[in-house]
């Protein structure tokens, strides 16, 4: 199930939230920060589910039951975010480009009163970096003197864009990337075929939204072909090496994805080479049989250097991938030598 896969992926955040609620030491306003697509909003909804679950079991099991009326409504909302949220879950989203002052004013007319049908009202501001200054300032006073039965959850992947005065009134909860198996479980719950889910989950860097975007990415479909082609190049075959570089360069905007799976297969090979038990795909096993751990680490470093050079320093992609292709097709232990020697294409 989506909810529990995501919660298992963020054990420290979830434990802190539950302990705060159960021991009465919880904060009234949280700032959830972390990458896009890792489950921050889902966790905010889960907080609502937990504090309002009608089953007594929630106290011992430390989780919402999933079957009471309150839980069922949250499950429905998680499956389809166009259905109405429960009346005590106030979900503030941008109307147009920003969350507007009028939306916050409307919220402030409700918040002083007790929740309508739940123990605790939860106000989710998502994303908090889209609060206009006026709207943020209007919210500030309520964050300073919050009603007892209300929790605020402000969500952002760009905390620097949230007013300092707002940030300072919230307890920050840092979300990391989800583990690959959690991403895979969430995809399966969303009816993605198992083979596709297994293929894209390790490429998604812990983000469900990245994984969903990758499903439609043509370069993902060509992954096996690209890796097989790399492995077929005999070292010092300069023509084949530069043709491979050209193929990479022609990927354009898809190049970062290709770098991710080149990195992934070399990391798998490294694990296999140093004897970590696991089921490795054939190309990883082949790389592991021909290269030392040092060679594999050097290759992984150069893949990551290439990624950084392309994304942060805006270097000429052609030059960057030629250097990369030379390293990835070098003989065992010759990675450093090809960088220094820089053979020419013609
Ligand atoms: Zn329940």
Do you find a cis peptide bond into 3, omega within 30 degrees of 0?
A: no
Rounded to the nearest angstrom, the distance between the alpha carbon of 107 and the centre of ligand 1 is 26
Rounded to the nearest angstrom, the distance between the alpha carbon of 169 and the centre of ligand 1 is 30
Rounded to the nearest angstrom, the distance between the alpha carbon of 71 and the centre of ligand 1 is 4
Rounded to the nearest angstrom, the distance between the alpha carbon of 61 and the centre of ligand 1 is 11
Rounded to the nearest angstrom, the distance between the alpha carbon of 322 and the centre of ligand 1 is 57
Rounded to the nearest angstrom, the distance between the alpha carbon of 311 and the centre of ligand 1 is 45
- Report pTM: 0.72
Number of domains in the chain: 2
Tell me 95's DSSP state.
B
Q: Among residues 346, 268, 345, which one has the least CA distance to residue 303?
A: 268
**Co-location of 85 and 229 in the same domain:** no
Q: Among residues 99, 144, 101, 96, which one has the least CA distance to residue 124?
A: 99
Number of residues that make up the chain: 346
Distance CA 205, CA 256 (A): 12
Q: Which residues touch 141 (CB under 8 Å, ≥6 apart)?
A: none
How far, rounded to the nearest angstrom, does the alpha carbon of residue 207 sit from its chain's CA centroid?
2
Rounded to the nearest angstrom, the distance between the alpha carbon of 80 and the centre of ligand 1 is 19
Burial of 3 by CB count in 10 Å (0-12 exposed, 13-18 middle, 19+ buried)?
buried
Rounded to the nearest angstrom, the distance between the alpha carbon of 74 and the centre of ligand 1 is 9
Residue 309, domain member (yes or no) = yes
Listed in order, strand segments (DSSP E) in 138-296 are: 150-156, 171-174
Residue 198, domain member (yes or no) = no
Rounded to the nearest angstrom, the distance between the alpha carbon of 57 and the centre of ligand 1 is 9
Rounded to the nearest angstrom, the distance between the alpha carbon of 46 and the centre of ligand 1 is 10
Rounded to the nearest angstrom, the distance between the alpha carbon of 199 and the centre of ligand 1 is 34
Residue 209, domain member (yes or no) = no
pLDDT of residue 1: 54
Residue 130, domain member (yes or no) = yes
**Co-location of 26 and 115 in the same domain:** yes
**Which residue, 176, 202, 234, sits at the end of a domain?**
176
For the chain (346 residues), the mean pLDDT of every run of 10, in chain order, is 81 92 90 95 94 89 89 90 92 93 94 94 96 93 87 96 94 94 90 85 87 84 88 90 95 88 91 87 91 96 93 88 95 84 52
**Co-location of 235 and 131 in the same domain:** no
How far, rounded to the nearest angstrom, does the alpha carbon of residue 138 sit from its chain's CA centroid?
31
Distance CA 189, CA 272 (A): 30
**Co-location of 229 and 152 in the same domain:** no
**Co-location of 27 and 150 in the same domain:** yes
CATH of the domain at 87: 3.40.50.300
**Co-location of 44 and 138 in the same domain:** yes
Residue 346, domain member (yes or no) = no
Sheet of strand 121-125, all strands in order from the earlier edge strand to the far edge: 89-92, 121-125, 150-156, 29-33, 171-174
**Which residue, 119, 150, 176, sits at the end of a domain?**
176
Hey, what are 328's tokens?
A: 């990835």
Q: Among residues 264, 263, 338, which one has the least CA distance to residue 306?
A: 263
Residue 140, domain member (yes or no) = yes
Domain limits at 73? 2-176
**Co-location of 157 and 234 in the same domain:** no
Distance CA 223, CA 218 (A): 9
Rounded to the nearest angstrom, the distance between the alpha carbon of 252 and the centre of ligand 1 is 48
Residue 193, domain member (yes or no) = no
Distance CA 317, CA 251 (A): 10
**Co-location of 322 and 266 in the same domain:** yes
**Co-location of 155 and 267 in the same domain:** no
Residue 68, domain member (yes or no) = yes
**Co-location of 40 and 154 in the same domain:** yes
**Co-location of 242 and 155 in the same domain:** no
**Co-location of 15 and 106 in the same domain:** yes
Rounded to the nearest angstrom, the distance between the alpha carbon of 119 and the centre of ligand 1 is 12
Q: Determine the Cα angle at 22 with ends 14 and 90, to 5°.
A: 65
**Which residue, 147, 176, 205, sits at the end of a domain?**
176
Hey, what are 108's tokens?
A: 């402030």
Distance CA 72, CA 308 (A): 45
Rounded to the nearest angstrom, the distance between the alpha carbon of 73 and the centre of ligand 1 is 10
CATH of the domain at 240: 1.20.272
């Amino acid at each position: 199930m989506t909810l529990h896969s995501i919660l298992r992926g963020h054990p420290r955040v979830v434990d802190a939230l539950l302990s705060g609620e159960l021991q009465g030491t919880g904060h009234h306003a949280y700032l959830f920060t972390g990458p896009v697509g890792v489950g921050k909003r889902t966790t905010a909804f889960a907080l609502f589910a937990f504090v309002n679950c009608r089953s007594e079991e929630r106290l011992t099991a430390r989780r919402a039951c999933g079957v009471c009326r309150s839980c069922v409504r949250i499950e429905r909302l998680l499956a389809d975010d166009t259905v109405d949220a429960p009346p005590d879950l106030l979900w503030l989203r941008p109307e147009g480009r920003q969350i507007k002052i009028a939306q916050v004013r409307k919220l402030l007319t409700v918040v002083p009163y007790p929740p309508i049908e739940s123990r605790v009202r939860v106000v989710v501001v998502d994303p908090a970096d889209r609060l206009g200054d006026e709207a943020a300032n209007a919210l500030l006073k309520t964050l300073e003197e919050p009603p007892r039965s209300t929790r605020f959850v402000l969500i952002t992947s760009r905390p620097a864009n949230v007013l300092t005065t707002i940030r300072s009134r919230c307890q920050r909860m840092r979300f990391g990337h989800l583990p690959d198996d959690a991403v895979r479980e969430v995809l399966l719950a969303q009816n993605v075929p198992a083979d596709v889910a297994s293929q894209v989950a390790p490429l998604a860097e812990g983000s469900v939204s990245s994984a969903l975007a990758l499903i439609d990415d043509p370069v993902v479909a060509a992954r096996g072909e690209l890796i097989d082609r790399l492995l077929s190049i005999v070292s010092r075959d300069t023509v084949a090496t530069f043709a491979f570089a050209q193929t990479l360069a022609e990927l354009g905007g898809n190049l970062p994805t290709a770098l991710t799976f080149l990195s992934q297969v070399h990391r798998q090979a490294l694990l296999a080479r140093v004897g970590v038990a696991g089921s490795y795909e054939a190309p990883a096993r082949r790389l592991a049989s021909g290269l030392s751990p040092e060679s594999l680490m050097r290759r992984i470093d150069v893949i990551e250097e290439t990624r950084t050079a392309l994304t942060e320093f805006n270097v000429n992609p052609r030059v960057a991938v030629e250097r990369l292709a030379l390293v990835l097709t070098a003989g065992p232990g010759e990675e450093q030598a090809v960088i220094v020697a820089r053979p020419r294409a013609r």
